[in-house]
Amino acid sequence: MKIAIIGTGIFAIATASLLDKNLDNFTIIGRDKNQLDDLKTGNCNPKYSNYKIKATLNTELLDDCNFNNYDILFYCLPTLALNNRYLSTNSLIVFTCKGFRENFLFESVKNYVLLSGPSYANELISEKYTSFTVSSFSLKNCEIISRLIKTKYCLLYTSLCPKSIELFGIFKNIISIGCGLINELDMGKNVEASFIIKFLDNIYKTFDINKSELYQPAGIGDIYLSCSVNSRNYRFGKNLIYKTNKIPNNTTLEGLDSLKQLNSKLKDNLINLFYDLIMNCPVLSPNEIKNKIINLLNY
Protein backbone atom coordinates (compact mmCIF):
# COMPACT_ATOMS: atom_id res chain seq x y z
CA MET A 1 0.00 0.00 0.00
CA LYS A 2 1.46 3.36 -1.09
CA ILE A 3 0.77 6.21 1.31
CA ALA A 4 1.66 9.90 1.08
CA ILE A 5 1.21 13.11 3.03
CA ILE A 6 0.45 16.25 1.02
CA GLY A 7 2.11 19.17 2.77
CA THR A 8 5.29 19.91 4.69
CA GLY A 9 3.92 22.15 7.47
CA ILE A 10 3.58 21.48 11.17
CA PHE A 11 0.44 19.34 10.95
CA ALA A 12 1.94 17.33 8.09
CA ILE A 13 4.89 16.58 10.39
CA ALA A 14 2.47 15.69 13.20
CA THR A 15 0.68 13.30 10.84
CA ALA A 16 4.04 11.81 9.86
CA SER A 17 4.77 11.22 13.56
CA LEU A 18 1.64 9.03 13.73
CA LEU A 19 2.33 7.09 10.54
CA ASP A 20 5.90 6.66 11.77
CA LYS A 21 4.67 4.33 14.51
CA ASN A 22 2.91 1.98 12.09
CA LEU A 23 4.65 2.15 8.70
CA ASP A 24 8.10 1.29 7.39
CA ASN A 25 7.94 3.84 4.59
CA PHE A 26 5.78 6.63 3.15
CA THR A 27 6.10 9.74 0.98
CA ILE A 28 5.81 13.46 1.71
CA ILE A 29 4.63 15.64 -1.19
CA GLY A 30 5.23 19.38 -1.12
CA ARG A 31 5.92 22.59 -3.02
CA ASP A 32 9.03 23.82 -1.22
CA LYS A 33 12.09 22.05 -2.64
CA ASN A 34 14.32 23.16 0.24
CA GLN A 35 11.99 21.66 2.82
CA LEU A 36 11.69 18.46 0.78
CA ASP A 37 15.49 18.27 0.57
CA ASP A 38 15.74 18.61 4.37
CA LEU A 39 13.19 15.84 4.78
CA LYS A 40 14.92 13.60 2.24
CA THR A 41 18.43 14.01 3.65
CA GLY A 42 17.70 14.43 7.35
CA ASN A 43 14.19 12.98 7.82
CA CYS A 44 13.30 16.29 9.44
CA ASN A 45 11.82 19.69 8.54
CA PRO A 46 13.65 22.08 10.91
CA LYS A 47 11.48 25.01 9.79
CA TYR A 48 8.60 23.56 11.81
CA SER A 49 9.91 20.83 14.10
CA ASN A 50 12.99 18.92 15.22
CA TYR A 51 11.09 15.64 15.00
CA LYS A 52 13.09 13.02 13.07
CA ILE A 53 11.02 10.58 11.03
CA LYS A 54 12.25 7.03 11.58
CA ALA A 55 10.56 5.37 8.61
CA THR A 56 12.13 5.28 5.17
CA LEU A 57 10.98 8.57 3.69
CA ASN A 58 10.46 9.48 0.05
CA THR A 59 9.69 12.99 -1.17
CA GLU A 60 8.01 14.31 -4.30
CA LEU A 61 7.34 17.76 -5.71
CA LEU A 62 3.65 18.59 -5.76
CA ASP A 63 3.64 19.88 -9.33
CA ASP A 64 5.22 16.64 -10.61
CA CYS A 65 3.02 14.28 -8.63
CA ASN A 66 0.38 11.91 -9.98
CA PHE A 67 -1.92 11.36 -7.01
CA ASN A 68 -3.35 8.20 -8.55
CA ASN A 69 -0.01 6.49 -7.91
CA TYR A 70 -0.95 6.39 -4.22
CA ASP A 71 -3.55 4.32 -2.42
CA ILE A 72 -4.02 6.81 0.42
CA LEU A 73 -3.30 10.54 0.62
CA PHE A 74 -3.31 12.59 3.81
CA TYR A 75 -4.22 16.15 2.79
CA CYS A 76 -2.43 18.51 5.23
CA LEU A 77 -2.71 21.81 3.35
CA PRO A 78 -5.13 24.71 3.99
CA THR A 79 -8.67 24.36 2.66
CA LEU A 80 -8.15 27.30 0.28
CA ALA A 81 -5.51 25.26 -1.58
CA LEU A 82 -8.11 22.62 -2.50
CA ASN A 83 -8.91 22.25 -6.19
CA ASN A 84 -10.25 19.63 -8.57
CA ARG A 85 -6.87 18.00 -8.82
CA TYR A 86 -7.26 16.74 -5.26
CA LEU A 87 -10.99 16.12 -5.44
CA SER A 88 -10.86 14.01 -8.61
CA THR A 89 -8.18 11.54 -7.50
CA ASN A 90 -9.05 7.85 -7.31
CA SER A 91 -7.03 7.55 -4.11
CA LEU A 92 -8.63 7.46 -0.68
CA ILE A 93 -7.99 10.99 0.61
CA VAL A 94 -7.85 11.89 4.30
CA PHE A 95 -8.63 15.55 4.98
CA THR A 96 -7.11 17.14 8.08
CA CYS A 97 -8.09 20.72 7.13
CA LYS A 98 -11.12 22.39 8.72
CA GLY A 99 -12.39 25.10 6.45
CA PHE A 100 -14.72 25.85 3.58
CA ARG A 101 -14.10 26.75 -0.05
CA GLU A 102 -16.92 27.05 -2.62
CA ASN A 103 -18.48 23.67 -1.78
CA PHE A 104 -18.63 21.34 1.18
CA LEU A 105 -16.64 18.12 0.92
CA PHE A 106 -19.80 16.08 1.50
CA GLU A 107 -21.21 17.72 -1.65
CA SER A 108 -18.22 17.14 -3.89
CA VAL A 109 -16.18 14.08 -2.79
CA LYS A 110 -17.14 10.44 -2.30
CA ASN A 111 -14.04 8.45 -1.36
CA TYR A 112 -12.73 10.36 1.63
CA VAL A 113 -12.13 10.36 5.37
CA LEU A 114 -12.07 13.27 7.81
CA LEU A 115 -9.48 13.30 10.58
CA SER A 116 -10.56 15.88 13.12
CA GLY A 117 -10.32 16.61 16.82
CA PRO A 118 -8.62 18.64 19.55
CA SER A 119 -5.07 18.13 18.30
CA TYR A 120 -2.41 20.83 18.55
CA ALA A 121 0.36 19.61 16.26
CA ASN A 122 3.22 20.27 18.70
CA GLU A 123 1.49 18.27 21.43
CA LEU A 124 0.89 15.42 19.00
CA ILE A 125 4.55 15.36 18.01
CA SER A 126 5.53 15.39 21.71
CA GLU A 127 3.34 12.31 22.24
CA LYS A 128 0.94 14.07 24.58
CA TYR A 129 -2.38 12.28 24.84
CA THR A 130 -4.96 13.35 22.25
CA SER A 131 -8.15 12.14 20.59
CA PHE A 132 -9.43 12.17 17.02
CA THR A 133 -12.66 11.53 15.20
CA VAL A 134 -12.13 9.35 12.12
CA SER A 135 -15.17 9.97 9.95
CA SER A 136 -16.39 8.62 6.61
CA PHE A 137 -19.52 7.33 4.93
CA SER A 138 -17.61 4.02 4.81
CA LEU A 139 -16.85 2.07 8.00
CA LYS A 140 -14.16 0.14 6.10
CA ASN A 141 -12.34 3.38 5.26
CA CYS A 142 -12.53 4.49 8.90
CA GLU A 143 -10.99 1.18 9.97
CA ILE A 144 -8.19 1.42 7.39
CA ILE A 145 -7.17 4.91 8.51
CA SER A 146 -7.52 4.07 12.20
CA ARG A 147 -5.04 1.20 11.82
CA LEU A 148 -2.53 3.55 10.18
CA ILE A 149 -2.57 6.28 12.85
CA LYS A 150 -3.43 4.48 16.09
CA THR A 151 -0.84 4.83 18.85
CA LYS A 152 -0.88 4.35 22.63
CA TYR A 153 -1.32 8.11 23.14
CA CYS A 154 -3.94 8.62 20.43
CA LEU A 155 -7.55 7.69 21.19
CA LEU A 156 -9.73 7.26 18.11
CA TYR A 157 -13.50 7.58 17.75
CA THR A 158 -15.40 6.49 14.63
CA SER A 159 -18.16 8.50 12.98
CA LEU A 160 -20.24 7.63 9.93
CA CYS A 161 -21.59 11.20 9.72
CA PRO A 162 -18.83 13.14 7.91
CA LYS A 163 -21.28 15.91 7.00
CA SER A 164 -21.81 16.75 10.68
CA ILE A 165 -18.10 16.42 11.47
CA GLU A 166 -17.15 18.71 8.58
CA LEU A 167 -19.65 21.37 9.65
CA PHE A 168 -18.40 21.35 13.24
CA GLY A 169 -14.82 21.72 11.95
CA ILE A 170 -15.75 24.71 9.78
CA PHE A 171 -17.83 26.55 12.35
CA LYS A 172 -15.58 25.98 15.36
CA ASN A 173 -12.98 28.26 13.75
CA ILE A 174 -15.60 30.96 13.11
CA ILE A 175 -16.86 30.61 16.69
CA SER A 176 -13.27 30.92 17.92
CA ILE A 177 -12.88 34.35 16.30
CA GLY A 178 -16.02 35.59 18.05
CA CYS A 179 -14.94 34.21 21.43
CA GLY A 180 -11.53 35.87 21.11
CA LEU A 181 -13.19 39.20 20.33
CA ILE A 182 -15.59 38.86 23.28
CA ASN A 183 -12.70 37.94 25.59
CA GLU A 184 -10.62 40.98 24.63
CA LEU A 185 -13.65 43.23 25.15
CA ASP A 186 -13.89 41.79 28.70
CA MET A 187 -17.56 40.94 28.20
CA GLY A 188 -17.21 37.80 30.33
CA LYS A 189 -17.19 34.04 29.92
CA ASN A 190 -20.98 33.99 30.08
CA VAL A 191 -21.12 35.91 26.81
CA GLU A 192 -18.50 33.64 25.21
CA ALA A 193 -20.60 30.61 26.19
CA SER A 194 -23.75 32.30 24.86
CA PHE A 195 -21.98 33.00 21.57
CA ILE A 196 -21.02 29.32 21.21
CA ILE A 197 -24.59 28.23 21.96
CA LYS A 198 -26.00 30.74 19.46
CA PHE A 199 -23.85 29.42 16.62
CA LEU A 200 -24.43 25.76 17.46
CA ASP A 201 -28.18 26.37 17.52
CA ASN A 202 -27.89 28.09 14.14
CA ILE A 203 -25.98 25.12 12.69
CA TYR A 204 -28.76 22.78 13.80
CA LYS A 205 -31.43 25.01 12.27
CA THR A 206 -29.60 25.56 8.98
CA PHE A 207 -28.22 22.07 8.24
CA ASP A 208 -29.56 18.56 8.56
CA ILE A 209 -26.94 17.21 10.94
CA ASN A 210 -26.73 14.53 13.61
CA LYS A 211 -26.75 16.29 16.99
CA SER A 212 -25.12 13.33 18.74
CA GLU A 213 -21.92 14.00 16.77
CA LEU A 214 -21.37 17.07 18.97
CA TYR A 215 -20.03 14.66 21.62
CA GLN A 216 -17.22 13.53 19.33
CA PRO A 217 -13.65 14.85 19.71
CA ALA A 218 -14.34 16.74 16.46
CA GLY A 219 -17.38 18.32 18.12
CA ILE A 220 -17.21 19.69 21.65
CA GLY A 221 -13.55 18.66 21.99
CA ASP A 222 -12.36 20.72 19.04
CA ILE A 223 -14.66 23.65 19.86
CA TYR A 224 -13.20 23.77 23.39
CA LEU A 225 -9.62 23.71 22.11
CA SER A 226 -10.25 26.33 19.42
CA CYS A 227 -11.79 28.80 21.88
CA SER A 228 -8.53 29.19 23.79
CA VAL A 229 -5.60 31.58 23.57
CA ASN A 230 -3.38 29.08 21.71
CA SER A 231 -5.75 29.15 18.73
CA ARG A 232 -4.78 31.39 15.79
CA ASN A 233 -8.44 32.20 15.16
CA TYR A 234 -9.01 33.13 18.81
CA ARG A 235 -5.95 35.41 18.84
CA PHE A 236 -7.15 37.03 15.61
CA GLY A 237 -10.47 37.78 17.31
CA LYS A 238 -8.69 39.31 20.30
CA ASN A 239 -6.73 41.62 17.99
CA LEU A 240 -9.81 42.93 16.17
CA ILE A 241 -10.43 45.72 18.67
CA TYR A 242 -6.98 47.10 17.86
CA LYS A 243 -8.30 48.29 14.49
CA THR A 244 -7.07 45.54 12.22
CA ASN A 245 -8.75 42.63 10.49
CA LYS A 246 -5.66 41.81 8.42
CA ILE A 247 -4.16 38.35 8.60
CA PRO A 248 -0.45 38.23 9.61
CA ASN A 249 1.91 37.13 6.83
CA ASN A 250 2.34 33.37 6.37
CA THR A 251 -0.58 32.65 8.72
CA THR A 252 -3.43 30.33 7.81
CA LEU A 253 -6.70 31.56 9.28
CA GLU A 254 -9.35 29.02 8.35
CA GLY A 255 -12.04 30.81 10.39
CA LEU A 256 -11.88 34.09 8.48
CA ASP A 257 -11.48 32.36 5.11
CA SER A 258 -14.52 30.17 5.81
CA LEU A 259 -16.58 33.11 7.08
CA LYS A 260 -15.92 35.04 3.85
CA GLN A 261 -16.82 32.06 1.66
CA LEU A 262 -19.96 31.17 3.63
CA ASN A 263 -21.13 34.78 3.68
CA SER A 264 -21.20 34.63 -0.13
CA LYS A 265 -22.70 31.13 -0.41
CA LEU A 266 -25.35 31.06 2.31
CA LYS A 267 -28.38 33.24 2.86
CA ASP A 268 -27.85 32.95 6.59
CA ASN A 269 -28.60 36.05 8.63
CA LEU A 270 -26.38 35.09 11.57
CA ILE A 271 -23.38 34.47 9.31
CA ASN A 272 -24.09 37.70 7.41
CA LEU A 273 -24.37 39.73 10.63
CA PHE A 274 -21.17 38.29 12.07
CA TYR A 275 -19.27 38.80 8.81
CA ASP A 276 -20.34 42.47 8.71
CA LEU A 277 -19.22 42.90 12.32
CA ILE A 278 -15.76 41.40 11.68
CA MET A 279 -15.23 43.47 8.53
CA ASN A 280 -16.30 46.69 10.29
CA CYS A 281 -14.42 46.22 13.57
CA PRO A 282 -11.57 48.57 12.53
CA VAL A 283 -13.99 51.53 12.29
CA LEU A 284 -16.11 50.72 15.36
CA SER A 285 -15.54 51.72 18.97
CA PRO A 286 -15.37 48.98 21.64
CA ASN A 287 -18.84 49.94 22.89
CA GLU A 288 -20.26 49.76 19.37
CA ILE A 289 -18.74 46.29 18.92
CA LYS A 290 -20.21 45.17 22.26
CA ASN A 291 -23.66 46.40 21.26
CA LYS A 292 -23.48 44.55 17.94
CA ILE A 293 -22.47 41.33 19.71
CA ILE A 294 -25.43 41.62 22.10
CA ASN A 295 -27.74 42.33 19.16
CA LEU A 296 -26.36 39.25 17.40
CA LEU A 297 -27.03 37.09 20.47
CA ASN A 298 -30.59 38.40 20.64
CA TYR A 299 -31.23 37.87 16.94
> 236 and 283 share a domain?
yes
> 171 and 209 share a domain?
yes
> 26 and 41 share a domain?
yes
By CB atoms closer than 10 A (0-12, 13-18, 19+), residue 250 is: exposed
User: Looking at residue 12, what is its pLDDT?
Assistant: 97
> 88 and 199 share a domain?
no
Average pLDDT taken over every residue of the chain: 93
Q: How confident is the model at residue 251 (pLDDT cuts 50, 70, 90)?
A: low
C-beta of residue 83 within 8 angstroms of C-beta of residue 104: no
**Would you tell me how many other CB atoms lie within 10 Å of the CB of residue 62?**
17
- Which letter does DSSP use for residue 9 in this model? S
What would the pLDDT profile of 121-133 be if each residue is shown by its tens digit?
999 999 999 999 9
Residue 107 has pLDDT above 80, yes or no: yes
**HSE-CB for 253 with a 13 A CA cutoff:** 22
CA distance 247 to 78: 14
Residue 249 has pLDDT above 70, yes or no: no
From residue 182, alpha-carbon distances to 109, 179, 191, 192, 248 in Å are 36, 5, 7, 6, 20
pTM here is: 0.92
> 26 and 153 share a domain?
yes
Find the Cα–Cα–Cα–Cα dihedral 47, 53, 59, 62, rounded to 10°: -50
CA distance 87 to 83: 7
Higher-scoring residue by pLDDT: 42, 100: 42
> 123 and 229 share a domain?
no
> The domain that contains 291 carries what CATH number?
1.10.1040.10
| DSSP secondary structure string for all residues of 110-142 | SSEEEEESS--HHHHHTT--EEEEEE-S-HHHH
The residue among 160, 180, 205 that closes a domain is 160
Share above pLDDT 70 across residues of the chain, in percent, rounded to a whole number: 97
What would the pLDDT profile of 49-96 be if each residue is shown by its tens digit?
999 999 999 999 999 999 999 999 999 998 888 777 777 778 999 999
User: Looking at residue 246, what is its pLDDT?
Assistant: 67
Range 242-260 average pLDDT: 77
> 48 and 184 share a domain?
no
Helix (H) or strand (E) run with residue 28 in it: strand 25-30
Q: Which domain holds residue 97?
A: 3-160
> 134 and 178 share a domain?
no
> 90 and 170 share a domain?
no
**HSE-CB for 87 with a 13 A CA cutoff:** 15
Q: How confident is the model at residue 242 (pLDDT cuts 50, 70, 90)?
A: confident
Helix (H) or strand (E) run with residue 226 in it: helix 222-226
| DSSP secondary structure string for all residues of 67-97 | GGG-SEEEE-S-GGG--HHHHT-SSEEEE--
Range 32-43 average pLDDT: 95
> 123 and 184 share a domain?
no
> 123 and 35 share a domain?
yes
Number of domains in the chain: 2
User: Looking at residue 247, what is its pLDDT?
Assistant: 62
The residue among 160, 182, 210 that closes a domain is 160
By CB atoms closer than 10 A (0-12, 13-18, 19+), residue 81 is: middle
Residue 248 has pLDDT above 70, yes or no: no
> 171 and 212 share a domain?
yes
